[in-house]
């Protein structure tokens, strides 16, 4: 019996999102750029879609940033063990969020 594997590297050489790791290999913070997106399911909610395609569900997004398509720079803290009825993105808490000029 012969076993062969083929590997395709479709990942970008450098990720736009920067992930700082804690000592226990868990992400401490995630920094990057992306946009605010409104999702019209599960009762409707806002999320952050990073430029590299990763999706984040912020628990503490203030009303001033609830604008579909708004470009932002973010620093987020992933929330391990958090459960939500929204089955979209990684649950996070916003550390900082800044509007980007278009």
Instruction: Print pLDDT tens along the chain (102 aa).
Output: 444 444 334 433 334 455 555 555 556 899 999 999 999 987 889 999 999 999 999 989 999 999 999 999 999 999 877 777 777 899 999 999 999 987
pLDDT at 20: 54
Beta-carbon contacts of residue 5 (< 8 Å; ≥ 6 apart): none
Distance, C-alpha 96 to centroid of its chain: 13
The Cβ of residue 74 has, within 10 Å, a number of other Cβ atoms equal to 23
pTM for this predicted structure: 0.72
Distance CA 15, CA 89 (A): 18
Beta-carbon contacts of residue 32 (< 8 Å; ≥ 6 apart): 16, 17, 18, 50, 51, 52, 54, 73, 74
pLDDT at 41: 82
């Amino acid at each position: 019996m012969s076993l062969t594997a083929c590997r395709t590297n479709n990942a970008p050489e450098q990720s736009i999102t920067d992930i700082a790791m804690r000592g226990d290999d868990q992400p401490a913070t995630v920094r990057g750029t992306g946009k605010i997106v409104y999702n019209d399911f599960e009762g409707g909610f806002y999320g952050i879609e990073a430029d590299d395609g990763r999706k984040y569900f912020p628990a503490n997004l203030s009303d001033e940033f609830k604008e579909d398509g708004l470009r932002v720079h973010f620093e987020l803290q992933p929330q391990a063990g958090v459960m939500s009825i929204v089955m979209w993105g990684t649950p996070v808490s916003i550390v900082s969020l800044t509007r980007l000029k278009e």
